[in-house]
Amino acid sequence: MKIVFSKDYTVKTPGHVFRADKFEAALKLLLREGIVSESDVAAPRPPVRADLLLAHGPAWVDKSLRGGFTAEDSKRAEIEISRGVVRAHLANVGGTVLAARLALAEGLAVNCGGGSHHAFRDHGEGFCLLNDIAVAVRLLLKERRVARAMVIDLDAHQGNGTASIFKGDRRVFTFSMHGAETYPEKKERGSLDLELKPNIGDLEYLALLRRELPRALDGFKPEFALYVAGADVYRGDLLGGLGLSVGGIRRRDAFVLAECRRRGLPVAAVLSGGYARKFTDTVRIHANTIREALRAGKLQSEE
């Protein structure tokens, strides 16, 4: 199984709750522990304008490629839009596209980054400028590699940008479990939105996931899944508020990947949000998601 990563993902955001270096730190942890090797890592290419236009409007795409972001754009996205931040978002789009292609070819892949699900067609929100999820899914649909795709979004926050971009697109099913009282204040309507009470914890969260995800998969019958494996569901997260343990998150990841494997469904995972009080906790959770993907890939190859 390939892990997609680019050095361009790592951009300095001093004093900001979002630390873009968490993705590189997770990969380095796995390399140090001997779980993966350098040969397992694939570097993405930046997306071209035509790819970005599948999910974003021309004016927003041109700002992303040529510059021209305003102070109001930064305010709305809640992050200072520097050249490095734009470069990181472009690289992450390329990373999720590559992970999606690898998943179709090999059954499973992970982008060690990605998951900018708050980015809308014509503006950024929630630290997100470009919706890598929507671009990757739309590209597979455009190329007719798949006819139906599902986004399984288990970040603590609703992917409002993703839901908005895919509104009315019957080829895409957006499945989301997110905090009812967390950001964004105004939720968009996805295909299935399961709103959760604060500090729901492992048992209730996993019971709901085990009941609802198989129903959605069997009802829609996707040919490809993009799994948004947010780390911000963790009980020590500053922004998530759902109260899951590290072990509970691993069980979440293992269940999603097993359900996809059981159906022969190619799946690409992206890491998305994570803002733990202890940075090392976020890093460990992201690394654990990749561990579970590697385990699922091994089981798949043995079957």
Contacts of 233 (CB under 8 A, 6+ apart): 154, 155, 156, 205, 240, 242, 244, 249, 252
* Tens digit of each residue's pLDDT (9 = 90 or more) over 250-293: 999 999 999 999 999 999 999 999 999 999 999 999 999 999 99
Domains of the chain: 3-302 (3.40.800.20)
Residue 300 has a pLDDT of 74
Residue 187 has a pLDDT of 97
With 90 as the cut, is the pLDDT of residue 303 above it? Answer: no
Residues 210, 99, 265, 191, CA torsion sign: positive
**pLDDT-derived band of residue 123, with 50, 70 and 90 as boundaries?**
very high
Contacts of 47 (CB under 8 A, 6+ apart): 90, 93, 94, 97, 135
Distance from C-alpha of 51 to C-alpha of 29, rounded to nearest angstrom:
32
What percent of the chain has a predicted confidence (pLDDT) above 90?
96
* Tens digit of each residue's pLDDT (9 = 90 or more) over 136-173: 999 999 999 999 999 999 999 999 999 999 999 999 99
Residues catalogued as catalytic: 118
What percent of the chain has a predicted confidence (pLDDT) above 70?
99
Residue 248 has a pLDDT of 98
* Tens digit of each residue's pLDDT (9 = 90 or more) over 68-109: 999 999 999 999 999 999 999 999 999 999 999 999 999 999
Residue 298 has a pLDDT of 82
* Tens digit of each residue's pLDDT (9 = 90 or more) over 195-229: 999 999 999 999 999 999 999 999 999 999 999 99
Distance from C-alpha of 217 to C-alpha of 175, rounded to nearest angstrom:
9
* Tens digit of each residue's pLDDT (9 = 90 or more) over 244-257: 999 999 999 999 99
Distance from C-alpha of 279 to C-alpha of 48, rounded to nearest angstrom:
33
CB 78 within 8 A of CB 184: no
Question: What does each C-alpha distance from 8 to 17, 20, 23, 94, 233 come to in angstroms?
Answer: 19, 10, 11, 11, 26
Q: What is the mean pLDDT of residues 12-26?
A: 95
Residue 299 has a pLDDT of 79
Q: What is the largest CA-CA distance in the chain?
A: 53
